[in-house]
Amino acid sequence: SMLEVSLNGKILKLEYDMSVQEFLASLGFDMKFIALERDGEILAKTNWQDTMMSGGKRYEVVEFVGGG
């Protein structure tokens, strides 16, 4: 069964279980320049590889833009 997660207000369907890291990579995010919140809590980057995406959770990606 597909997992449904909310990312920045959009519902996404995941075809298989994946880690947070894999999920963000699959969407083309640059890991260096983003932070991730899950249900309003910042998820530490050190945990992204070990944390699986969870259905029904609200994820928010915050992108930092380099200056210059």
Residues 24-62 pLDDT 10s: 999 999 999 999 999 999 999 999 999 999 999 999 999
Amino acid letter for position 59: Y
Residues 55-66 pLDDT 10s: 999 999 999 887
